[in-house]
Amino acid sequence: MRWIDVTTPLTPAMRVYPGDPPVVTAVVADPRRGDAARVTTLSLSVHAGTHVDAPNHVGRAGSGVESLPLDAMIGPAFVVRAAGLRRRRPVTPADLASLPRPLPRRLLFRGGMPLLEETARELARRGVLLVGTDALSIDPVGSAALPAHHALLRAGVVVLEGLRLDGARPGRCQLIALPLLIPGADGAPARVVLGFTSGSRSARRRPAPRGTMRRASGRGARRSG
């Protein structure tokens, strides 16, 4: 099996959700300054880069990231590029018709498009455990209602955002997504890798990690993906 890393590198220059704080790193100790070791601090939103959302992200009640089941974030998955994504519109329930039956329980949407609320409800109804996207959010950026978030998180579906799926072709794979354990947090950065069987058409050589994406400008609705 060949594994590829689909995690967005955390850098000060990376794109973040409008209104969220930027990623900031600072070296606070350095042997070149006479310290015993190099020590770096990191400041960021828990929704920066590749991350999971917890149930308490969009509601007054709900549990934190520590409640997310590991078995939902580890196992067989399917990278989706639905027809609707090519037309630059949200993913609709009709776009699910071309997927294998029974529906894979972990779906990763490639193409940067949000999900309609009806699509999110249909995925939850059909027993999907995890929905991932390479967009900043499964809802449109700037959305105040966040209908797809509510539909999935209330149903216990793990939401995984900010993936880097440009090197993963559509098809079956193995998923390992391990978020940081931050009790009570409404989300957490995650390291995510995909495994493809030898000779699979779904695997191809990844480009070098991109760490120089521009930070999102403007101050939109204060909400993370």
Q: Please write the tens of the pLDDT for every residue from 101-110.
A: 999 999 999 9
User: What's the rounded mean pLDDT across residues 175-184?
Assistant: 97
- Residue 12, in any domain of the structure: no
- Distant-in-sequence contacts of 137-142, Cβ < 8 A, 24+ apart: 137/17, 137/161, 137/224, 137/225, 138/114, 138/225, 139/114, 139/115, 139/225, 140/90, 140/114, 141/17, 141/18, 141/220, 142/18, 142/220, 142/221
Active site residues: 57
Instruction: Encode 6-23: b = buried (16+ Cβ within 10 Å), e = exposed.
Output: bbbbbbeebbbbbbbebb
- Residue 202, in any domain of the structure: no
Q: What is the mean pLDDT of the chain?
A: 88
Number of domains, the chain: 1
Domain containing residue 189: 2-7+48-196
User: What's the rounded mean pLDDT across residues 16-21?
Assistant: 95
Which pLDDT belongs to residue 59?
Answer: 79
- Residue 167, in any domain of the structure: yes
Q: How far is CA 132 from the centre of its chain?
A: 5
> Is the confidence at residue 180, as pLDDT, over 60?
yes
- Residue 206, in any domain of the structure: no
- Residue 212, in any domain of the structure: no
Q: How confident is the model at residue 216 (pLDDT cuts 50, 70, 90)?
A: very low
- Residue 106, in any domain of the structure: yes
Selected residue with higher pLDDT from 47 and 223: 47
High-pLDDT (> 70) share of the chain, %: 85
- Residue 144, in any domain of the structure: yes
| Residue 162 belongs to domain with CATH number | 3.50.30.50
List helix spans (H) across the chain.
70-73, 83-86, 117-125, 147-154
Asked whether the beta carbons of 154 and 148 are under 8 A apart, the reply is no
- Residue 121, in any domain of the structure: yes
Which pLDDT belongs to residue 82?
Answer: 57
